[in-house]
Amino acid sequence: MISESLSGRRIAITGSTGFLGTALVERLLRSAPDCQLVLIVRPGRRGAARRVERDILRNDAFDTLRDQLGTDGFTEMTNRRITAVAGDVTTDGLGLDPEGRAALASCDTVIHSAAAVSFDSPLDQAVEVNLLGPVRLVETLAELGVAPHLVAVSTCYVAGSRRGAAPEEPVDSSPFFVDVDWRTEVDAARRIRRETESASRTPERLVGFRSGARRELGAAGTPSLAAKTEQLRSRWVDDRMAESGVARASSLGFPDAYAYTKALGEIATAESKGDVPVSVVRPAIIESALAEPSPGWIRGFRMAEPVIISYARGLLKEFPGVPEGTIDVIPVDLVVAAICAVAARGPLRPDDGPDIVQVASSSVNPLRYGKLVDLVREWFTEHPIYDDLGQPIPVPQWSFPGRGRVKKQLQRAGSTLEYAQKVFDVLPVRGRQAEVGARLEEQRELVQRAEGYVDLYGAYAECEAVYGMDRLLALWESLSSEDQNSFCFDPRIIDWDIYAPEIHLPSVVKAGRVPMKPPARGGESRPARLRRQVLAPERHLAAFDLENTLIASNVVASYAWLGSRHLSGRDRVRFVARLVAEAPALLSLDRKDRSDFLRHFYRRYDGASVDQITTDAKEKFSELILAKSFPAAIRRVRMHRELGHRTLLITGALDFVVEPFRPLFDDIVCAELGVVDGSYDGQLTSVPPTGEARYQALVDHAEAHELDLRESVAYADSASDLPMLEAVGFPVAVNPETRLAGIARKRGWLVEDFQKSPGMNRSALPLAPRRTVGTSR
């Protein structure tokens, strides 16, 4: 009996926060009631116990146990049976402290399921986790002087990209294996990482990363640009390392770095295990549960899900593959049951042959690729995904072309979208027009993702290997009928015509959170829900930008009005011509650095009379309110005040421009000019509140008034305002320019399209009405 054999055992598990590991913990807690679990997890900032509680036990896999025991009973049971240990398989000695080492030393069985499962993992990361992880584990057990039964989870794809039979045999006994030394591979991966890191720091590449950050964020301020630059550099390094992994794996006959490092991991573990008995369990492609802990249970996206969702969205018009080939899928609960059976059975004797069990379906219950595509197409034809306009998306008919043809199609589409996006980025558009640019960027990223899927998963769709399962089936036949009912891992029981459409695909769309029906009429829309959250009474602070957020104006427009106030005739013409000629240079400077632009532009006020500007600014206010303001934005400020929220106007505009807005706000933070003998000197008295300075001003204001920014709202229109928007819990993009529209769309922020009153003046360069008396600078 499997339950009786596991009862009373102390079982250590690595990788328990992953898909397979979570299902394994749940099954052992439910089906082996007296066993004790030692979960070795990377602790994070809050410690191992907190991570186990947050990342494992809160998962819906445990709903059945929670319902059976009640919340208090479930907590008592897990506290009694689970020991959380901080550890990391990428660290020598697993990074265990003395208590962790003692906990591991007390175990009878160790199940190693930790893995870098992404097919495009950076080469060195896959090496450290998949290759060296199990080696470090057996070396640590040897240091502790113990030899528990180690059940190491690998993958069927260690057999490489082959056709035909792939039996349950050691990797290096296959005639198709290219003999390489795993230690040399480790050294090479680490060297490539060092070289790639060095290459990413050359002046030329750093300039390129900085330029990329500026293209994405605009004039967001030095800290934001620096953070984005480093993010791009790090991403470039990981991309190069992922390419190195694919290249090295392909050169040795493996589909990707995951299979390649898992294969070498098996060899390295066999060489390093010493007295530790090792059983290897090799699953094929693990997908959603057939029955336990519930039909369709899945955690995260597995291999097939991104491709399925992209197909259902109409993005993948074609995908490579061999229709007659097999997609070797196995539900996660069958894999868990097989691991439990192997752990209960214990290690084989040396004369019984290699202790390797493959959990797959291709040799006894094959799922043909063509059949899977038919099942998916039929299901999404009946249950379509809906687009943003509430229309069902028709699914394409695949003709199974080669990978090269599919990649060329996607590359052409990507190039077209990239060109369109670049054209759109230089246009001075905002609000709904900028949303078009954001959608272009989103579509381009989807196409790039689809191209990545072709690279990553195309080899699996073209695979024609048939994985032998003699030992798996022999183990199955050795079980009692009771064990077979409780721990089923026979792949022959799967009915693909039921599993795919009735169990797996509904779980895929649920996990992907894709719209499976048009928006309900009369129901609350997403913007309405976000708006309700923004205007909740419990918010603390509402911070507003001014230009293009409250009014359709800017510092150039304000200067144009004030500067032309007392001009006439030729002076007025020259003034207008000079501003128009400067427009491209001013726009370029503004895009580079908002603070530098303001300092440069405000020098024009040097020598202007303070009294005259004050008088003219009061008249300017009437024009602003009547012709340039957004009535909905003004109402929004008043709504926040009525709800008891503190309101703050924070802008790089000058104090005499924003002075008339004081009745609307509790506080105003703005730019100010120095005064000498009754005239402005054209010099700012402090750093203008833009970019990171605006963020700091917001933080300082919140601290001074004991306000929580996580419960606060910020309204702004530009990517240069990103530091302020990111500082609050409820950012709102108002009439956003293209960059901010794209960012807001990606992050799910509320986007407001505030408009001026109909019929109001929309001139690009507002000039004051002509006066025939007096002149002014």
Amino acid at 726: E
Matching residue, tokens 């230009």 = 547
DSSP of 160-191, one letter per residue? -S-EEEE-S--GGGSTT-----HHHHHHHHHH
Domains of the chain: 303-324+371-519 (no CATH), 530-752 (3.40.50.1000)
User: pLDDT tens for residues 486-545?
Assistant: 999 999 999 999 999 999 999 988 888 888 887 766 667 888 899 999 999 999 999 999
In terms of Cα–Cα distance, which of 510, 154, 490, 483 is closest to 297? Answer: 510
SS3 state of residue 758: coil
Provide the pLDDT for residue 225. Answer: 86
- For 97-105, the CB contacts below 8 A with 24+ separation are 100/40, 101/140, 101/144, 103/12, 103/38, 104/12, 104/38, 104/40, 104/140, 104/141, 104/144, 104/146, 105/144, 105/145, 105/146
Q: Return all residues near 512 (Cβ < 8 A) that are at least 6 apart.
A: 301, 305, 309
**Beta strand 541-544 pairing with 713-716:** parallel
Based on the number of CB atoms within 10 Å of its own CB, is 224 exposed (0-12), middle (13-18) or buried (19 or more)?
buried
Q: What is the pLDDT of residue 444?
A: 73
Cβ-count burial 275-293 (b if 16+ within 10 Å, e if not) = ebbbbbbbbbbbbbbbebb
Instruction: Tell me the per-residue pLDDT of 317-342, one tens digit each, with 9 for 90 and over.
Output: 767 677 777 889 999 999 999 999 99
pLDDT of residue 758: 65
Low-confidence ranges of the chain (pLDDT < 70): 301-304, 318, 320, 401-407, 417, 419-440, 450-459, 461, 520-523, 620-626, 757-777
Residue 625's pLDDT is: 60
- pLDDT of the residue at 286: 94
* pLDDT on residue 422: 66
Which pLDDT score is estimated for 760? Answer: 52
> In sequence order, what are the beta bridge partners of 541?
646
